[in-house]
Amino acid sequence: MLSFFWLRCLLKMVKENIVIPEEILSFCCNGFQGSTSPPCSQDPGEREEAAGAMASPSHPRNPTEVQMSQLVLPCHTNHRGELSIGQLLKWIDTAACLSAERHAGCPCVTASMDDIYFEHTISQPYLNTPGRRDGRSGVGVGQVVNIKAKVNRAFNSSMEVGIQVSYEDLCSGKHCSICKAYATFVAHSSSGNKVALKPLIPQTEEEKIEHSIAAERRRMRLVHKDTLKDLLTRSPHETELETRDGSVAVPAEKTRVESVELVLPPHANHQGNTFGGQIMAWMENVATIAASRLCHAYPTLRAIEMFHFRGPSQVGDRLVLKAIVNNAFKNSMEVGVCAEAYGQEMSISCRHINSAFMTFVVLDQEGRPRTLPMLAPERGDGERRYREASARKKIRLDRKYVVSCKQTEVPLSVPWDQSNKVYLSYNNVSALKMLVAKANWALAREKEKVQMYTLEEDKFLSFRIEMSVRIAASQAFSLLSDLRRRHEWDSHYLSAELVQQVDDDDMIYHVVSQTLSSENKLQDFVILASRRKPCGKGDPYVVAFRSVTLPTHPATANFTRGETICSGFCIWPESEEMSKVAYYNQATPGYLNYVTTNVAGLSSDFCATFEACEKFLLKNKEDDLIVRLQSL
């Protein structure tokens, strides 16, 4: 009302040719923008404080962060009162896209969505009535889904967006996690060309960890297909059908589903491309029907293997969605689903838009997975899909075991084989990068150029020793990544034998230490060494070590088998001829008693060893340069 009053006054003054003071004019303009109080002076400090009032009190909010809260309505649920996973995928894709476009400053499209494991479903409260146990969460219509998305890292023209999804019971105030996801988006200009992205600078410890590990996740995505092919070549080509007592195999053909969707304007973004989340929702729908035809029950979606969008579809396209059960295991089944796009003339050849694999279970009244019928695959492609589903299950279980577990829950020495080599390498490097990104390191000792830091956290005590060395970072990386030469500067190493060259970046060594165990025996280790060159500007060279077990090198009576959970080097270039070399070691609980009783002696030992490392690097840098030039 106040703004209309000033509007009338302003018009009257204009008619009577009265000069309007600047203060009054400014107040009127502010009033039209929503201000209901007269202007007052405010110094810059007060303005900054007011602007930050909506931000987190501890640190500025990430500019790419998007928070979305959706009220679950009846139209969002299925026949069981559960929030439709397809609807949830649409919300996830929308929030992630908004986050990506905040960073890119231009339209973005979904390139892929990593594996998603659903920890809970969102169902009607009556499903969890008193006295009844159920595998579903007791929250439904009228409750809230909270989604938080933010860009973890920007590469050349693509970026990784991390998404966290939880639900909130408004009556009890209870919060519970639903899933965590990672999506890759590509920025496009108005002409359709890819856009070079500006780098993202992480601020908090959590953001630094996600930024660093994003490069590892990207590497894992790129080699995922190769991992599957490698496992299939090593497995028998004959299809071995599983047998279950009293179960009759269901022909896979009976589970086949085909559906068509017309892409309309509400299904597309401002560029006319179909929302990735909408395509994922349609795919989830046909996959659910296929799974129901096998078990003759209502299945629950437990996991989605990576969505990869091969190309866009536009308004007016006809999307043909096809699904079939690839394999039925004892308590779960894999459904393969693909989306193909046709123009208005359906006779024209189709465009493959997307493929995905979804894992379903059927829960009984106690919330436990039911035993499923066997599946009889079709000959030819059906048998191929059957074998591939078994391989994907093994990879999925290995990946979930190695990657998803908390560090304290993963055994120190994880069995190594071809199916989990990519994920063990990922876990090895990401564990070291997480340790590097920690913020609470305390300086314990400084001796000339060597600084030693400690970090106490839960059951672990970690060490960091660093110094600057007059050597190129690439040369230091080459010399320190070869464990066979470590005995030249580390007095604790007696020998190191290369037992398996996994690939160019991963090697497995059998190491014998000169340190005696409590049994008065030498210790030996089987160590996976993973090397990484910088992925972007500011990234270090990384050499990570962790223990693994190999059938060819079991523990013997001659040695006491030792284990290392996380250790390695990070090397940052300071100039063309100077590098900062840092060594990290996370002590296991069994090592803590020795550490706490010998802190002074241990720090002296570390410093002396690192000084020997510097002499080794300086002595061998010329020889290493000659060897690398000869290899070129």
With left for phi above 0 and alpha for psi between -120 and 50, is residue 56 left, alpha or beta? Answer: beta
- What pLDDT, in 10s, does the model give residues 245-292? 556 789 999 999 999 999 999 999 878 889 999 999 999 999 999 999
Identify the CA nearest to 553 among candidates 487, 498, 494, 504.
498
Question: If pLDDT is split at 50, 70 and 90, which confidence band does 444 have?
Answer: confident
Average pLDDT over residues 282-304: 94
- CA torsion 12→14→17→22, rounded to 10°? 110
The answer to whether the CB of 295 falls within 8 A of the CB of 247 is: no
- The whole-chain average pLDDT of the chain stands at 81
Q: 521 Cβ partners below 8 Å, 6+ apart?
A: 558, 559, 560
Question: Which of 28-32, 58-62, 128-132, 322-326 shows the lowest per-residue confidence on average (mean pLDDT)?
Answer: 128-132
Contact by Cβ (8 Å): 319, 313: yes
Residue 49: band (very low, low, confident or very high) from pLDDT cuts 50, 70, 90: very low
Report which of 248, 242, 250, 254 is spatially closest to residue 323, judged by C-alpha positions. Answer: 254
42-56 per-residue burial string, b: 16 or more CB within 10 A, e: under 16: eeeeeeeeeeeeeee
**Helix (H) or strand (E) segment spanning residue 116:** strand 116-117
Q: How many CB atoms lie within 10 A of CB 293?
A: 16
Determine the Cα–Cα distance for residues 526 and 510; give it in Å rounded to an integer. Answer: 5
More confident residue, 135 or 143: 143
Residue 222 Cα distances to 115, 219, 358, 434, angstroms: 14, 5, 20, 22
| Predicted pLDDT of residue 10 | 46
Give residue 417's pLDDT band: very low, low, confident or very high (50, 70, 90).
confident
Q: Which residue has the tokens 């208005």?
A: 344
pLDDT of residue 47: 39
Residue 1 pLDDT greater than 50, yes or no: no
- pLDDT, average across residues 336-351: 83
- Residue 603 — very low, low, confident or very high, per pLDDT cuts 50/70/90? low
Which letter does DSSP use for residue 320 in this model?
E
Give CA–CA dist 509/500, Å, rounded. Answer: 7
Mean pLDDT of the 157-167 span: 94
Mean pLDDT for the stretch of residues 167-188: 90
What pTM does this model have? 0.76
pLDDT value, residue 427? 86
Question: Tell me, what's the pLDDT at 14?
Answer: 44
Q: Is the pLDDT of residue 138 over 50?
A: no
Averaged over 481-510, what is the pLDDT?
92
> What is the average pLDDT across 139-152?
87
First to last CA, the chain: 78
pLDDT, greater one: 617 or 52 = 617
Which pLDDT band, with edges at 50, 70 and 90, does 400 fall under? low
Q: What is the amino acid identity at position 575?
A: S
- Sort residue 498 into left (φ over 0), alpha (ψ -120 to 50) or beta: beta
14 vs 177, more confident: 177
Name the least confident of 1-15, 43-57, 403-417: 43-57
pLDDT tops 50 at residue 132 = no
